A and B are shown apart, each in its own frame.
Chain A
Amino acid sequence: MNAWNRQRVAKIAIPIAAWLVGIIFVIPILYMVLTSLHAPQDAQTYPPSWGAPLTLDNYSGLFTSANPITPALINSVITSVISTLLVLALAIPAAYSLSIRPVKKWSDAMFFFLSTKMLPMVAGILPIYLFTTKVINMPDNVIILILLYTAMNLPIAVWMMRSFLAEVPPAIIEAASIDGASTLRILTRIVAPISMPGVAATSLICFIFAWNEQLYAKVLTSVAAQTGPVYVNTLIQTEHAYLAELAAGATLISLPVLIAGFAAQDKLVQGLSLGAVK
């Protein structure tokens, strides 16, 4: 095959292969959404009832059932949003002293943050469980989850924020301080505008990880502080046709993550690689 032919084949084969792969990866999600729109008895048949009538009843059922999803969603929003705000409050000053006005041995501090992320969360869960239930007597409490999620996301946020703050050209800051601008003024007028997209991306990624977390939530909560991911598990009720409602719950709690993820798409890689890849 000569080069010209090969190029023509590639021109056709590459898009076909790419589309095929994309479709394969998205099929489970499409099927989950389709299942969530089928009546319970149509959703779990052999073979699947592809053309069964569509309905939103499963979604409304999640909110109107005897055990509604609403409190779990509220808990998820509270823990994810507040822990993300706490993370930012702790990470931005830390990142500042790791990049713009770096302390000595700042890279050691960076690696300390990173190393805490590498220890599996499950290894500390038992003392945390005993401490919250036996010592401070705060079982089933969102405050505990908020603090744990803050710690869970803090290393990621510090690494991300540092990489964003490091993009602020030092020359500008120097020039401003020579011109007599105060630290506060430098921060609000120069650093903040440049690093705003970074703050937004960091928040979205911390939000996603907090929203997704299930292990701590499952062990440390029962009813009052139950979050969305824990709730979804309770939808597996095999004594009746449960799949449609399960699919609706799974789709519903994934929606905020899909939205946040697509919103942060440009910065997603930078965030997921802890700022190492831009």
Chain B
Amino acid sequence: MASLTAQLPAATEPAAERPPAAYKKWGRESWKLRAPLLPALVFLIVVTQLPFVATLVMSFMSWSAQPDAPERSFAGFDNFKTVFTTPAYRTAVLNTIEMTVVVVGVSALLALGIALLLNHAFVGRGVVRTMMIAPFLIVPIAAAVFWGNGILMTGFGLVDGVLGQLGVPGAQDIAFLTDHPKLAIEIELIWQWTPFMMLILLAGLQSQDPEVLEAASIDGCNGWQTFVHMTLPHVRRYLELSIVLGTIFIVQNFDSVLGMTGGLNSTNIPFAVYETFYSAKDYGVASALGVVVVIGSLIIATFALRVVSSLLTDEEASR
């Protein structure tokens, strides 16, 4: 039976409230205890945190690797000004927000609906569940290039072909990727991430006590009442968890943009960073973009950490 793990205690008490003796003990007792933790911590700090510090430093430098570029120098906030005043970068920021909100929102709703279906017993439920998981197990860039070239491509793509066979006039010339590039990417991402959210929600639904639902139905609740008053509050935390985790992954999406549209009218921040440093070789502006995306992610992360920790402490309290 599914359940949320709950071993995390509430946030650690502030240091000031701790008796001085604890400090001494912490100092001596625990090097042996802490030793197994240190390699992982040190490794992670060196490989993931130091580059961020470097990015921060570079974001204040005028630094281009173009052959005719001037010498590296301190640039103050110029790179950030460029990021916020250049329409292309502003668009990238807006595209990132739009695509993340649409994909996460639609995926969460679809996932909830599908999880409710799969929570019923029926012939072939295991098969349907397996079919549902499969999109999440296709390598993201492979999925993106096949959606871009095999499914939504003008002319020989699956969608144009099927529409043509259904008699839609001019189906051969429908160009989803150039006419609706963001929508195309959103559809592909929804296809790939709905299964992920569905799995978490299904686990949540299956952790619901069937006796409670039975009691509700004996007491005369109809299906809708039971859903709104019993099921929904129960899966709310699972819904939050899937939304938070989905957001973290989808904000960072690079593969779908690269594989489907190559950034045409659909550039998001990760893709803009890549292009600015890899093609335009403007290291200063690319770093400033990186810092902007970090600040945005920190806002999401603060929220995310709160959800995760309340999830774990709620459960602790309910024990």
Which A residues lie at the B interface, using CB under 8 A?
6, 10-11, 14-15, 17-19, 21-23, 25-26, 28-29, 31-32, 35, 43-48, 90-91, 93-94, 96-99, 101-105, 107-131, 147-148, 150-151, 154-155, 158, 163, 166, 208, 211-212, 214-215, 218-219, 228-229, 232-233, 235-236, 242-243, 246-247, 249-251, 253-254, 257-258, 260-262, 265, 268-269, 272-278
B196 pairs with A232, CB closer than 8 A: no
Q: Which chain A positions have C-beta within 8 A of B238? A: 277
Stretch of B47-55, B74-82, B177-185, B225-233 that contacts chain A: B47-55
Interface residue? B291 (CB, 8 A):
yes
Does A276 lie within 8 Å of B7, measured CB to CB?
no
Given contacts A44-B156, A214-B141, A277-B238, A163 and B5 within 8 Å (CB-CB): yes
In angstroms, Cα B130 to Cα A47, docked, is 30
| Contact (Cβ within 8 A) B41 A19 | no
A154 to B54, CA, bound (A): 21
Q: Tell me the total A-B contact number using a CB cutoff of 8 A.
A: 332
Do B200 and A28 have beta carbons less than 8 Å apart?
Answer: no
Question: 8 shortest A-B CB distances, which residue pairs?
Answer: A124-B51, A93-B36, A127-B54, A250-B142, A47-B161, A151-B47, A118-B301, A44-B156
Distance in Å from the Cβ of B128 to the closest Cβ of chain A? Answer: 4
Known: A123-B52, A275-B5. A261 touches B136 (CB 8 A): yes
Q: Which residues of B contact A6 (CB under 8 A)?
A: 223
User: Min CB distance, A46 to chain B, in Å?
Assistant: 5
Residue of A122, A126, A154 near B44 (CB, 8 A) is A154
Contact between B255 and A215, CB atoms less than 8 A apart: yes
Footprint of A on B, CB under 8 Å? Answer: 2-5, 7-9, 11-12, 22, 26, 30, 33-37, 39-41, 43-44, 47-52, 54-55, 58, 114, 117-118, 120, 122-125, 127-143, 145-147, 149-151, 153, 155-156, 158, 160-162, 164-165, 172, 191, 194-196, 199-200, 202-204, 223, 238, 241-242, 245, 248, 251-252, 254-255, 258-259, 269-270, 273-274, 277-278, 283, 286-287, 290-291, 293-294, 297-298, 300-301, 304-305, 308-309, 311-312
Residues of A within 8 A of B298 (CB): 118-119
- Whole-angstrom distance between the alpha carbons of A128 and B278 in the complex? 13
CB pair A46 B5 closer than 8 Å: no
Docked-complex contact B43 and A151, CB < 8 angstroms? yes
What's the Cα separation between A158 and B12 when bound, in Å?
Answer: 19
Residue of A nearest to B140 (CB): A212
How close is B157's CB to chain A, nearest CB, in angstroms? Answer: 9
Distance (whole angstroms) from the CB of B283 to the closest CB of chain A: 6
Residues in chain B near residue A117, CB distance under 8 A? 248
- Chain A residues contacting B40 (CB-CB under 8 Å) are 90-91, 93-94, 113, 154, 158
Is the pair A268, B140 in contact by a Cβ cutoff of 8 Å?
no
Smallest CB separation, B227 vs chain A (Å): 13
Nearest CB of B to A185, in Å: 17
Query: Which A residue sits closest to B10, measured CB to CB?
Result: A107
Docked-complex contact B147 and A28, CB < 8 angstroms: yes
> What distance in Å separates the Cβ of B199 from its nearest Cβ neighbour in chain A?
5
Q: Point out the residues of chain B lying under 8 angstroms from A97, CB to CB.
A: 33-37
Q: Is the CB of B139 within 8 A of A229?
A: yes
Inter-subunit contact B44/A113 (CB<8 Å): yes
Instruction: Flag if B142 contacts A127 (CB, 8 Å).
Output: no
**Distance in angstroms between the alpha carbons of A227 and B212 in the assembled complex:** 51
B138 near A155 with CB under 8 A, answer: no
> How far, in whole Å, are A170 and B55 apart by their CA atoms in the complex?
44
Interchain CB contact under 8 A, B44 and A151: yes
How distant is B83 from chain A, measured CB to nearest CB, in Å? Answer: 13
B164 touches A47 (CB 8 A): yes
Known: A47-B161, A273-B245. A29 touches B138 (CB 8 A): yes
B149–A236 CB distance below 8 A: yes
B138 and A258 within 8 A (CB):
yes
* B36 and A96 form a contact (CB under 8 A): yes
B contact residues around A31 at 8 Å (CB): 150-151, 158
Q: Does B297 lie within 8 Å of A118, measured CB to CB? A: yes
Min CB distance B85 to A, Å, is 21
In the complex, what's the smallest C-beta–C-beta distance from A95 to chain B, in angstroms?
Answer: 9
Q: In the complex where A45-B156, A107-B11 touch, is A254 in contact with B274 (Cβ < 8 A)?
A: no
18 CB contacts below 8 A, A to B, read: A25-B191, A28-B143, A48-B162, A97-B33, A105-B12, A121-B252, A127-B58, A211-B139, A219-B274, A229-B139, A229-B142, A243-B153, A243-B156, A246-B150, A253-B139, A268-B199, A269-B202, A272-B196
Q: Cβ of A275: which chain B residues have Cβ within 8 Å of it?
A: 5
Check B5–A93 contact: CB distance below 8 A: no
Known contacts A122-B252, A243-B150, A277-B4; A15/B123 CB under 8 A: yes
| B140 contact set on A, CB distance < 8 A | 212, 214, 229
Select which of B49, B131, B137, B145 is within 8 A of A232 by beta carbon.
B145
Residues of B within 8 A of A250 (CB): 138-139, 142-143, 145-146
- Closest residue on chain B to residue A102 by CB atoms: B33
| B12, A119: Cβ atoms closer than 8 Å | no
Q: Are B145 and A246 in contact, with the CB atoms below 8 A?
A: yes
Asked if residues A25 and B55 are in contact (CB atoms below 8 Å), the reply is no
- Return B270 CB to nearest CB of chain A, in Å: 4
